[in-house]
Amino acid sequence: MDKVLVVGSLNMDFAVYMDRRPQAGETVMARSMKLVPGGKGANQAYALGKLGAKTSMIGAVGTDTFGEQMLANLEKVAVATKGIQKIAGTETGKAFIEIENSGQNSISVIAGANAAVDEGLVLAQEELFAQADAVVMQLEIPVPSVVAAARLAKKHGKTVVLDPAPARADLPDELWAQVDITKPNETELALLTGLPTGTEAEVVAAAKALIAKGVKNVLVTLGGDGTMLVTEDKVEKFPAYKVKAVDTTAAGDCFLAAFISQFTGSNFAEAIDFGAKASAIAVTRQGAQTSIPTVEEVENFH
Ligand code: RIB
């Protein structure tokens, strides 16, 4: 897709690195902390921009330094930020991320200005919808705004992409009916559908439950087991690349953005492979937007 609009969140990430994450009631000593631009929406917009798609974003930041830093980072990769509002009296969203040596993480998000992305803010940017080929959304802004964005995207005949994260069980059927491509991992798929996803057969059955609601293509990311594409009439699996992960933050954002940057409407295998390579590189680097590779790095990866 050449022109992409991202409607979603921007967070400053407080990334804390430690040997292992604490259990309930436990205190552990961490090694270091980094402030890194993040947020699922901003990560996807940043990755799309860095990978060469003409990208714009709708969202909101506060009138604080973090907001300025978030906008500046997106602009570095030529993302158009005119659809990102600065909300007076609000703080930019923040995410607190604990990352252990295996690269696995736990994330808590304070929505801040992301909560101010209401339907009015989205609808006021109709012109950005008209200019895009695809509209990409996640679930870190209010759900009614995601539904309004999907409706507007469809009104303009655009490809609707939903990253259903953070996953929740109460998404309206109207939203699913508009979605052309969604990308849950197995855990999110279970949460979204209320169905088990412990085996491949269960993953297919749960993905089919979304197809029954009107979704055209479900891309289930299976970590080291690759990606499964489920549509009404086919199920296909694509391999992952084995690497030593140091930080999995934004790996899914990177995968989705890299996939969309290459997707032409039918070349699933090629675009998924590009996404798998890009996210394999991303997990070997610390941070969210700091981990996104260039096109050359992805093309030279093997
Ligand atoms: O997907 C990773 C992102 O989730 C982080 O950058 C954090 O901000 C949270 O939104």
Range of the domain at 292: 3-9+39-91+112-299
Q: Is 55 helix (H, G, I), strand (E, B) or coil?
A: strand
- Angle at CA of residue 64, ends 62 and 69, nearest 5°: 95
Domain count, the chain: 1
Classify each residue of 12-26 as buried b or exposed e, where b means 16 or more C-beta atoms within 10 Å of its C-beta.
bbbbbbbeebeeeee
* The pLDDT of residue 245 is above 90: yes
d(CA 57, CA 7): 6
CA of 94 to the centre of ligand 1 (A): 9
* The pLDDT of residue 86 is above 90: yes
pLDDT band at 81 (very low <50, low <70, confident <90, very high): very high
Q: Among 9, 11, 36, 70, name the best residue to mutate to test ligand 1's pocket (greatest count of ligand atoms within 8 A of Cβ).
A: 11
* Contact status, residue 30 vs residue 16, Cβ threshold 8 Å: yes
Q: Note the pLDDT tens digit of each residue in 1-47.
A: 999 999 999 999 999 999 999 999 999 999 999 999 999 999 999 99
Residue 188 resides in a domain: yes
Residue 97 resides in a domain: no
Q: Pick the catalytic residue: 133, 163, 180, 253?
A: 253
* The pLDDT of residue 120 is above 90: yes
| 38 ligand 1 Cβ < 6 A | yes
CA of 102 to the centre of ligand 1 (A): 18
Owner of token pair 């991320």: 97
Residue 105 resides in a domain: no
* Residue 302, pLDDT score: 87
| 43 ligand 1 Cβ < 6 A | yes
Q: What is the CA radius of gyration of the chain?
A: 18
Residue 247 resides in a domain: yes
Here the tokens at position 250 are 């934004």
CA of 252 to the centre of ligand 1 (A): 10
Q: Is 166 helix (H, G, I), strand (E, B) or coil?
A: coil
Average pLDDT, the chain: 97
Binding-site residue numbers for ATP are 185, 221-226, 252-253
d(CA 124, CA 74): 21
d(CA 80, CA 217): 28
Average pLDDT over residues 157-176: 98
Q: What CATH number is associated with residue 194? A: 3.40.1190.20
Where would I find the H helices in 156-294?
173-176, 186-193, 200-212, 251-262, 268-282
Residue 19 resides in a domain: no
Q: Among 9, 43, 44, 247, name the best residue to mutate to test ligand 1's pocket (greatest count of ligand atoms within 8 A of Cβ).
A: 43
Q: Among 14, 35, 36, 40, name the best residue to mutate to test ligand 1's pocket (greatest count of ligand atoms within 8 A of Cβ).
A: 40
Residue 258 resides in a domain: yes
Residue ranges with strand state E in the chain = 3-7, 11-18, 30-38, 54-62, 80-87, 93-99, 105-110, 134-137, 159-162, 181-182, 217-221, 227-230, 235-238
What is the amino acid identity at position 169?
A
Binding-site residue numbers for substrate are 11-13, 39-43, 140, 253
Q: At what angle do helices 40-50 and 65-76 cross, to 10 degrees?
A: 30
CA of 232 to the centre of ligand 1 (A): 31
Binding-site residue numbers for K(+) are 247, 249, 282, 285, 287, 291
Phi/psi of residue 268, nearest 5 degrees: -60, -50
Q: Note the pLDDT tens digit of each residue in 202-231.
A: 999 999 999 999 999 999 999 989 999 999
Q: Note the pLDDT tens digit of each residue in 59-73.
A: 999 999 999 999 999
d(CA 103, CA 246): 4
* Contact status, residue 165 vs residue 186, Cβ threshold 8 Å: no
* The pLDDT of residue 271 is above 90: yes
* The pLDDT of residue 281 is above 90: yes
Active-site annotation holds for 64: no
* The pLDDT of residue 110 is above 90: yes
Reference 56, options 134, 115, 142; nearest CA is: 134
Residue 220 resides in a domain: yes
Q: Is 244 helix (H, G, I), strand (E, B) or coil?
A: coil
| 109 ligand 1 Cβ < 6 A | yes
Residue 81 resides in a domain: yes
Burial of 244 from C-beta contacts in 10 A (0-12 / 13-18 / 19+): exposed
